[in-house]
């Protein structure tokens, strides 16, 4: 990677991921390129968690204020919440109470546990105007939010799986140096000391069994339970807290959410709160700076740009584009009447993974000329051969 550093805000000026509006402070307007990355991240998490038997849901953005009062969030987050007092409604700042409602709406047996719920849920928080910064600090954001409803016997297995998932996802983005914080009970909290002793002991045991080095962050846990935080280090050695795992013995009881145990006994499930990417908006800002806009092929908004040498070859360029689109490869064309050297320079600066040049020689030889963004060499391949290669690279998240 180049040593020259540009913020994601500077990079965005060229590649047009999103824009902001003065009248919607901290709210992101996604453009086509940004939305492609956004959806690729969602598909990555969706496909991974589907393999682990998560149930995807969608919950309302407006919820009863009474729900957040019962859960305890009003006491701890009121200053960061958008409240519609005359309607007794809140714009949800987090998804957990809504997921508990979904669990509660179904009568689950202990034999069906664990129940794993996933939502790409939009949350809104009243952040101070001065703290808002591009994609890294917003008022509205989407989380890859999951809640695992389980029995005591499931806790260790599920926490181990959560940790495994974190590393599997972060490895795709080449985040190698991952630090872990263990955040313990805050001064202001819910639940008695015995519950906190138990939950903290479980997490310490899990961290030790997984042979993970961790730093204890005293008093920085959630108000309902201790948490594990995953800190990513980018190529500039900056640290970003992204993933979290929280162990919660308390909230299901506060919201009277139960499952049926043996002999028809009702029990309160333990809840494991987990997010891998955290705010997807923020994660896009992080990886944009991490890669300096040189996204891996699989997540690049434009994977191929096809350049015509002259107007004679425009129809062939359009036909090529159709072939790539049919193979689910993101492709654009440039048929402007400008020198090919100018067009190549333009798309190298935009860091498009592959530049295809098409003219007389390609038409005669029935092949395509390909230039990778990080190479000056021109590779000549048959179209089928190139498509086969690029589809393998996309599948392997290269």
Catalytic residue among 73, 92, 96, 123: 96
Catalytic pick among 73, 92, 99, 227: 227
Work out whether the CA dihedral 372, 377, 382, 386 comes out positive or negative.
negative
Q: Is 241 a catalytic residue?
A: no
CA dist 274 → 76, 144, 243, 351 (Å) = 20, 8, 7, 34
| Alpha-carbon gap, residue 398 to 390, rounded angstroms | 9
Active site residue 19: no
State how far the Cα of 84 lies from the Cα of 333, in Å rounded to an integer: 48
Whether 144 is a known active-site residue: answer no
Q: Given the residues 90, 99, 145, 234, select the one marked as catalytic.
A: 145
**How many angstroms separate the CA atoms of 223 and 186, rounded?**
6
How buried is 22 (Cβ within 10 angstroms: 0-12 exposed, 13-18 middle, 19+ buried)? exposed
Which pair of tokens denotes residue 169? 């996802």
Q: Which of 65, 116, 139, 143 is catalytic?
A: 143
Is there a catalytic annotation at residue 73?
A: no
Distance CA 286, CA 274 (A): 19
DSSP state of 240: E
CA distance 231 to 208: 18
CA distance 157 to 108: 20
> Could you count the other beta carbons within 10 Å of the beta carbon of residue 1?
10
Q: Please indicate whether residue 151 is annotated as part of the active site.
A: no
**Measured distance CA(167)–CA(180) in Å, rounded:** 12
Catalytic residue among 116, 139, 189, 273: 273
Annotation says 147 is catalytic: yes
- Tell me phi and psi for residue 174, to 5 degrees: 65, 30
What is the separation of C-alpha 216 from the centre of its chain, rounded to a whole number of angstroms?
26
Helix, strand, coil: what percent of the chain each, to 5?
40, 25, 30
Secondary structure (DSSP) of 140-183: EEEEEEEEEEE-GGGHHHHHHHHHHHHHHHHHHTT---EEEEEE
Note if 254 is an active site residue: no
What is the set of active-site residues? Answer: 96, 125, 143, 145, 147, 227, 273
């Amino acid at each position: 990677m180049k040593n020259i550093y540009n913020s994601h805000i500077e990079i965005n000026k060229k590649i047009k991921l999103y824009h902001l509006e003065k009248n919607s402070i901290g709210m992101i307007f996604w453009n086509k390129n940004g939305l492609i990355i956004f959806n690729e991240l969602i598909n990555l998490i969706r496909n991974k968690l589907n393999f682990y038997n998560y149930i995807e849901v969608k919950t309302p953005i407006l919820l009863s204020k009474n729900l957040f009062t019962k859960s305890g969030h009003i006491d701890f987050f009121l200053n960061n919440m958008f409240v519609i007092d005359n309607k007794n409604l809140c714009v949800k700042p987090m998804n957990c109470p809504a997921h508990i409602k979904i669990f509660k709406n179904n009568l689950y047996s202990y034999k069906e546990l664990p129940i794993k719920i996933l939502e790409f849920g939009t949350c809104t928080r009243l952040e101070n105007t001065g703290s808002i910064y591009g994609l890294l600090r917003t008022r509205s954001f989407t989380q890859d939010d999951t809640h695992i409803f389980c029995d005591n016997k499931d806790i260790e297995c599920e926490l181990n799986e959560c940790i495994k998932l974190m590393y599997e996802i972060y490895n795709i983005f080449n985040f190698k140096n991952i630090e872990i914080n263990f955040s313990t009970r805050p001064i202001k909290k819910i639940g008695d000391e015995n519950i906190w002793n138990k939950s903290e002991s479980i997490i310490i045991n899990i961290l030790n069994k997984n042979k993970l080095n961790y730093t204890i962050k005293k008093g920085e846990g959630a108000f309902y339970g201790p948490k594990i935080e995953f800190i990513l280090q980018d190529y500039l050695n900056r640290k970003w807290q992204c993933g979290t795992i929280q162990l919660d013995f308390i909230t299901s009881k506060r919201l009277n959410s139960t499952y049926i145990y043996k002999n028809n006994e009702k029990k309160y499930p333990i809840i494991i709160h987990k997010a891998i990417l955290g705010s997807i908006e923020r994660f896009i800002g992080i990886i944009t700076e991490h890669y300096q806009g040189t996204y891996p092929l699989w997540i690049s908004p434009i994977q191929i740009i096809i350049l015509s040498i002259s107007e004679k070859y425009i129809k062939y360029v359009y036909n090529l584009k159709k072939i790539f689109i049919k193979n689910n490869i993101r492709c654009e064309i440039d048929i402007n009447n400008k020198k090919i050297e100018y067009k190549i320079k333009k798309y190298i600066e935009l860091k498009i993974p592959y530049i295809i040049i098409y003219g007389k020689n390609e038409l005669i030889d029935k092949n395509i000329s390909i230039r990778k963004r990080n190479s000056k060499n021109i590779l000549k391949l048959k179209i089928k051969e190139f498509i086969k290669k690029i589809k393998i690279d996309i599948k392997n998240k290269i």
